[in-house]
Amino acid sequence: MSKETVERTNRQMKDFVSTRLNPLLESGYYATITDSKVDSLEKKKIRNSFLLFRSSSKGAAVEGVDIDYLSLDEYDRVGAAAELSAIESMSSSQFKMLRRWSTPTVPDYGIHALFEQSDQRVYMHKCDHCGYRQQMDYEKNIECVDESGVDLLAKTVKDGTFRFICKKCGKALDRWYNGEWVAKFPDRTINNQGTRGYLVTQLDAVWINL
Ligand SMILES: [Zn+2]
């Protein structure tokens, strides 16, 4: 990888820590369990554990560090050497917890290939009105309640233009409280074997409104 790429991904990682994570760790509950003496963009201490951040563009970024839990973000852009090296850092751990996250980029590659081999969990929302359980669908779970709310030229949508509905009874669907993960292939992860896969779409993301 070029020097420029390494510098860019390193900067992205530090920007992520300073703008997304630090505001959470510096206030409220997390501030009470985070050690302010151990504070950098690469290392945090929460209670008696350390949280380390590394850019995956350098293959040996976590070499020499013993870890119990590894989280690889933007997995489709993580190189094979970096992944192997990071997994190697868990070799002496009794936990060896591995989580890989990504927006899928290419079919049958990276996170999509892993998901295909996994038990393929999807989030099933339960309707408060009729009890029907359903996976969200762009065609069937969205209703336009005000045609004038869409301005195609300005490319804007007024709040309240669309609402989520149950695909069976058509009444309003509350996405917040009544869901559960359901595996398409539960046999694949029996007795803690195999890989659990979780599909999260923007329709499941309650913080994104219509
Ligand atoms: Zn319903």
**157 within some domain:** yes
- Give the mean pLDDT of 50-71: 81
| Number of domains making up the chain | 2
pLDDT, residue 38, reads 86
Q: Please tell me whether residues 76 and 167 are part of one structural domain.
A: no
**205 within some domain:** no
How far apart CA 82 and CA 90 sit, in angstroms, is 13
Q: Please tell me whether residues 13 and 96 are part of one structural domain.
A: yes
Does the pTM surpass 0.75? The reply is yes
> How many A from CA of 208 to the centre of ligand 1?
22
How far apart CA 78 and CA 59 sit, in angstroms, is 9
Q: pLDDT at residue 175 above 80?
A: yes
Q: Please tell me whether residues 126 and 24 are part of one structural domain.
A: no
Q: Please tell me whether residues 15 and 107 are part of one structural domain.
A: yes
> How many A from CA of 143 to the centre of ligand 1?
14
> How many A from CA of 129 to the centre of ligand 1?
5
- Give the mean pLDDT of 30-38: 92
> How many A from CA of 119 to the centre of ligand 1?
27
Which structural domain, as residue segments, surrounds residue 105? 3-113
